[in-house]
Amino acid sequence: MSQFQLIPYDRLREYFADQLGIPVSVGSIFSFNKEAFGLLEGFDNLVREKLNESSLVHADETGIDKSLGAGRSELG
Query: Which pLDDT tens digit goes with each residue over 30-56?
Result: 999 999 989 999 999 999 999 889 887
CB 1 within 8 A of CB 7: yes
CA distance from start to end of the chain: 27
| 39 Cβ contact partners less than 8 Å away, ≥ 6 residues apart | none
| 71 Cβ contact partners less than 8 Å away, ≥ 6 residues apart | none
Task: Give the per-residue pLDDT at 56.
Answer: 79
Task: Give the per-residue pLDDT at 24.
Answer: 95
Task: Give the per-residue pLDDT at 71.
Answer: 55
Task: Give the per-residue pLDDT at 75.
Answer: 53
Mean of per-residue pLDDT scores for the chain: 83
Residue 29, number of CB atoms within 10 A of its CB: 19
Nearest alpha carbon to residue 16 among 3, 6, 28: 28
Task: Give the per-residue pLDDT at 29.
Answer: 93
